[in-house]
Structure 1
Amino acid sequence: MRVLFAITPGTSTFLPLVPLAWALRTAGHEVRVASQPGFADAITRAGLTAVPVGRDLDMVRLLRGYGVTDEQLEQARAGLSPPFDVVDDPAHATWERMLGGYADAVDGYRAENLPMIAGLVEFARRWRPDLVIWEPFSYAGAIAARAVGAAHARQLWCLDVFGLAREHFLRLKAQQPPQERADPLADWLGGYARKYGFPYGEDLATGHFTIHQLPASLSDQADGLHYLRMRYVPHVGVATVPRWLRTPPARPRVALTLGFAADGFSGGFAIGVQEALDHLADLDVEVVATIPDAQRARLRRVPANARLVPFVPLDALVPTCAAVIDHGGDGTVLTTALHGVPQLAVGHHFNEPIMARKLAAQGGALQMRPAEATGPAIREAVQRLLTDPGLRAGAERLRAEMHRLPTPNDLVPELEALTEKHRSS
């Protein structure tokens, strides 16, 4: 069958899709990955076939054009904003709050997807995919799938805050008088449904089914949605294992990794790197910190027990570690969990704070809010990660749970069956 992946540009949202794309290719299916032209190089570096559609759009530059300030960007990065913060706190599930939140969210979806929609539909009409897989921000994929009668699925790279928020919203919408049941997302997607000649359905918002890469202990599911669990397979793009990493460490190794995008996009790191390094300096450990060169230049000193590198493949580093300090990002959390390593998660962006709490509740990790992550608190947490057998046991339980999930290759036959079920003749 022919499988089309649709993504808006973003390394952190694209890389989690690559293993499934390759599983489909090695099973003999034709695979294409469509995105804006400027993202084609990132797709081809993953060994996949890129389909440039539409035109390029710089979202940060667009927001600047609308007069969005640094302070507003920082507020938007501090955890979940409406309507998705209902997942963090059900008390936020009020009609007025969620309606306003969806109106703002749709403005962003419209700006991100508009450059791609026409070109993606045109390509789909010529190539005729059987299945379209789209990441949660890329509604253009759902529109193109329905325009040609293809089955389509969301592939999540995070908690399903989108499906869960939609579930709350639809419940509240049904409680409103008929004349007041506004729905910004359905109105926006419904306009494209009319344009391309098909009826609106909720699958445009949430897919015919959803591919979920988080184990059940770390994620909730929306009622009424069809989820396929899949084991997370780390993929970081072009990477080389350095020589120093091939030798077992002489002392317990602690990784400090705060996200390759955090320093440049999501309001900076969640903790003070200098303070953390200073308070770990007297422990009998080797600290490996993945710090961009620009951040390293701002450090006043580097302790003798610290190795600073701008990048190292996380799936090669983590197996050599006794503990990991991270930002609660999905890829970092899942890579660490795959190897049964206890972690300290300090999250502040999007679903990271929720992920950190779920990790701690599962039993294999500690979590802190950024304001709590002082040098002494981080030092104490690392000592616990290295010595608490309960944390090690919890991390091993999470590892075992993840390894029970089907791999991308295992999932292919089910995708074939669901494609046959949902595509139009």
Structure 2
Amino acid sequence: MRVLFVTYPEKTHFLSMAPLAWALRTAGHEVRVASQSAFTDVITQAGLTAVPLGRDANLWQLMGRNLTWIGSGVSGLPIPYDAAEWHPREITWSYLKDGYDIQVGRWHKVSNVPLITDLVRFAQSWRPDLVIWEPTTYAGAIAAEACGAAHARLLFSVDTLGVTREHHLRLKEQQPPGERADALADWLSPYARKYGFEFGEDLVTGQFTITLLPRSLRMDAGLDYLPMRYVPYSGAAVMPSWLWKRPERPRVALTMGLSGADHGAGYWFDLQDILDSLADLDIELVATVPEPEQRKLASVPENARLVPFVPLADLVPTCDAVIHHAGFGTLATTALHAVPQLIIPWDNDGPSLARRIAAQGAGLAVHSNQAIGVLIRERLLRLLNEPRFRRSADLLREEMLAMPTPNEMAVQLEERMASHRRPAVLGGR
């Protein structure tokens, strides 16, 4: 079986895809990973074969890490996808219609148009049997349909995209025939016609969806989901010698993830205030802080160890609590090791994931605009001293371990490919 992974150049998204790519490759399948050419080194560093495509277009640079550029909603999710969190009665047709207008122009075209032409040409030449695409990289679905491959999204968060689309289709049917605007379908349909097939919702949400979230944290649409266990991978890493043994005092990790560091976004709260608030606690605080941010600090407490990077899969098992930003990789790695979490979310899916961890009981959440030192200190002490958080974290770990591994998923995907694959389109060009 030939399997093609497709993603726009976002490192943390690709890192969630890599373990399944490995599993398929070690099962004997041919695997390729397609993205913009500037992303080639990230892919090859993972030991996978890259397919460089099109021209490079950096969404982070275009929006300057200002989510108002792509229309951020009240919850932090981009408009209209924040509506996935609302009660159906609160969602209006105009909000969804106008929201899709914004996102197609400012987000989805920017991420996908640079890939589509070259990706379809490669897919029609290489003929993959299965295409697995990052959930907003619709170019993957276009290429799959153009060459007759089965295709699926690989989802690493709550399915706000699928749920919002479900609400959009429901409300669209309630409109008069001449007023059923659909910016996403209007954008994707010409590509379908160009490459010899008809637009369908598979171009938006895939023929099926592989999800890395356990049931207790999920938000699902009425789609076909295949759960798969998360496997931590953070790229090239070296385990430092100070991690070889457990610390004498409770260890607490503080990390704000790879995306902010890689894109120079900085912090959205006062790091010095938080470090100072924890300075007198009998803990060892390990904070992963990029060197430019370290230089901004006036002082570093004696109980804190600041490092630019340390592999979370090695650090988290030695910790009694983890303070983080709700990035999926950090959240899932912490959950997999049954460590209580103090989450300081900022934007996008962070607040939603933080609320779900808090509701499940494995942690607490403080939104970044309320993240003052005294509050972080109080919440951290609760995590360290109240056994109920550890019990809930143990249950979350058990739930994740019950999910199929990437190796087991590889077998399921062979079966799904056989049922979804169809003859190649002959009319595409």
TM range (shorter): over 0.9
Equivalent residue number for residue 410 of structure 2: 412
Question: Is the deviation greater in 81-90 or in 333-342?
Answer: 81-90
Q: Take 2:366 and 2:189, find their aligned partners in 1: how far apart are those partners?
A: 42
Matching residue within 69, 77, 80 for 1:83: 80
Alpha carbons of 1:265 and 1:226: their partners in 2 closer, same or farther (altered >3 Å)? same
- Once the two structures are TM-superposed, the CA of residue 349 in structure 1 deviates from its matched residue by 1.5
- Structure 2 spans left out of the alignment, 5+ residues: 424-429
- Once the two structures are TM-superposed, the CA of residue 158 in structure 1 deviates from its matched residue by 1.6
- Are 1:134 and 2:133 an aligned pair? yes
Equivalent residue number for residue 426 of structure 2: none
- Trace 1:73-222 onto structure 2 (pairs within 5 A): 73=69, 76=72, 79-90=76-87, 93-107=91-105, 108-222=107-221
- Once the two structures are TM-superposed, the CA of residue 245 in structure 1 deviates from its matched residue by 1.1
Alpha-carbon contact 1:85-1:92 (below 8 Å) kept: no
Equivalent residue number for residue 19 of structure 2: 19
- Once the two structures are TM-superposed, the CA of residue 350 in structure 1 deviates from its matched residue by 0.4
For 1:332-373, what per-residue CA distance to the aligned partner results, in whole angstroms no more than 9, with x for missing partners?
Answer: 110000000001111111010011010000011011112322
- Structure 1 spans left out of the alignment, 5+ residues: none
Equivalent residue number for residue 317 of structure 1: 315
Matching residue within 251, 272, 281 for 1:253: 251
- Once the two structures are TM-superposed, the CA of residue 416 in structure 1 deviates from its matched residue by 0.5
Alpha-carbon contact 1:270-1:347 (below 8 Å) kept: no
Q: Take 1:70 and 1:7, find their aligned partners in 2: how far apart are those partners?
A: 22
Q: Which one-letter code corresponds to 2:278 in the other structure?
A: L
For 1:141-161, what per-residue CA distance to the aligned partner results, in whole angstroms no more than 9, with x for missing partners?
Answer: 000000011000000122111
Alpha-carbon contact 1:263-1:269 (below 8 Å) kept: no
Q: Take 2:140 and 2:129, find their aligned partners in 1: how far apart are those partners?
A: 12
Alpha-carbon contact 1:74-1:267 (below 8 Å) kept: no
Q: TM-score, normalised by structure 1?
A: 0.96
Alpha carbons of 1:231 and 1:285: their partners in 2 closer, same or farther (altered >3 Å)? same
Q: Take 1:244 and 1:75, find their aligned partners in 2: how far apart are those partners?
A: 44
Alpha carbons of 1:389 and 1:71: their partners in 2 closer, same or farther (altered >3 Å)? closer
What is the DSSP-based 3-state SS (H/G/I as helix, E as strand, rest coil) of the residue aligned with 1:416?
helix
Equivalent residue number for residue 427 of structure 2: none
Alpha carbons of 1:205 and 1:213: their partners in 2 closer, same or farther (altered >3 Å)? same
For 1:357-405, what per-residue CA distance to the aligned partner results, in whole angstroms no more than 9, with x for missing partners?
Answer: 1000001101111232211111111111111111110000001000000
What is the DSSP-based 3-state SS (H/G/I as helix, E as strand, rest coil) of the residue aligned with 1:87?
helix
Alpha carbons of 1:75 and 1:243: their partners in 2 closer, same or farther (altered >3 Å)? farther
Equivalent residue number for residue 337 of structure 1: 335
Give aligned pairs, total.
Answer: 420
Equivalent residue number for residue 399 of structure 1: 397
Q: Take 2:282 and 2:60, find their aligned partners in 1: how far apart are those partners?
A: 43
Q: Which one-letter code corresponds to 1:300 in the other structure?
A: A
Q: Take 1:337 and 1:371, find their aligned partners in 2: how far apart are those partners?
A: 24
- Once the two structures are TM-superposed, the CA of residue 88 in structure 1 deviates from its matched residue by 2.6
Matching residue within 338, 347, 362 for 1:364: 362
Q: Which one-letter code corresponds to 1:160 in the other structure?
A: D
Alpha-carbon contact 1:256-1:324 (below 8 Å) kept: yes
Equivalent residue number for residue 347 of structure 2: 349
For 1:285-311, what per-residue CA distance to the aligned partner results, in whole angstroms no more than 9, with x for missing partners?
Answer: 000000000100000000000000000
For 1:128-147, what per-residue CA distance to the aligned partner results, in whole angstroms no more than 9, with x for missing partners?
Answer: 00000000121110000000
Alpha-carbon contact 1:74-1:266 (below 8 Å) kept: no
- Once the two structures are TM-superposed, the CA of residue 92 in structure 1 deviates from its matched residue by 5.2
What is the DSSP-based 3-state SS (H/G/I as helix, E as strand, rest coil) of the residue aligned with 2:151?
strand
- Once the two structures are TM-superposed, the CA of residue 269 in structure 1 deviates from its matched residue by 2.4
Equivalent residue number for residue 46 of structure 1: 46
Alpha-carbon contact 1:258-1:270 (below 8 Å) kept: no
Alpha-carbon contact 1:342-1:364 (below 8 Å) kept: yes
Alpha carbons of 1:256 and 1:342: their partners in 2 closer, same or farther (altered >3 Å)? same
For 1:161-208, what per-residue CA distance to the aligned partner results, in whole angstroms no more than 9, with x for missing partners?
Answer: 110110111111011111111111111111100000101111000000
Q: Take 2:159 and 2:81, find their aligned partners in 1: how far apart are those partners?
A: 10
What is the DSSP-based 3-state SS (H/G/I as helix, E as strand, rest coil) of the residue aligned with 2:258?
coil
Q: Which one-letter code corresponds to 1:284 in the other structure?
A: D
Q: Take 2:50 and 2:362, find their aligned partners in 1: how far apart are those partners?
A: 39
Alpha-carbon contact 2:342-2:366 (below 8 Å) kept: yes
Q: Take 1:260 and 1:216, find their aligned partners in 2: how far apart are those partners?
A: 26
- Once the two structures are TM-superposed, the CA of residue 410 in structure 1 deviates from its matched residue by 0.8
What is the DSSP-based 3-state SS (H/G/I as helix, E as strand, rest coil) of the residue aligned with 1:262?
helix
Alpha-carbon contact 2:260-2:266 (below 8 Å) kept: yes
Matching residue within 360, 368, 380 for 1:382: 380
Alpha-carbon contact 2:71-2:79 (below 8 Å) kept: no
Alpha carbons of 1:62 and 1:308: their partners in 2 closer, same or farther (altered >3 Å)? closer
- Once the two structures are TM-superposed, the CA of residue 62 in structure 1 deviates from its matched residue by 4.1
Q: Take 2:246 and 2:328, find their aligned partners in 1: how far apart are those partners?
A: 27
Alpha carbons of 1:70 and 1:401: their partners in 2 closer, same or farther (altered >3 Å)? closer
Q: Take 1:374 and 1:26, find their aligned partners in 2: how far apart are those partners?
A: 47
Q: Take 1:350 and 1:74, find their aligned partners in 2: how far apart are those partners?
A: 11
Q: Which one-letter code corresponds to 1:215 in the other structure?
A: P
- Are 1:230 and 2:228 an aligned pair? yes
Alpha-carbon contact 2:70-2:103 (below 8 Å) kept: no
For 1:86-113, what per-residue CA distance to the aligned partner results, in whole angstroms no more than 9, with x for missing partners?
Answer: 1233365211111111111111211211
Alpha-carbon contact 1:83-1:165 (below 8 Å) kept: yes
Alpha-carbon contact 2:189-2:198 (below 8 Å) kept: yes
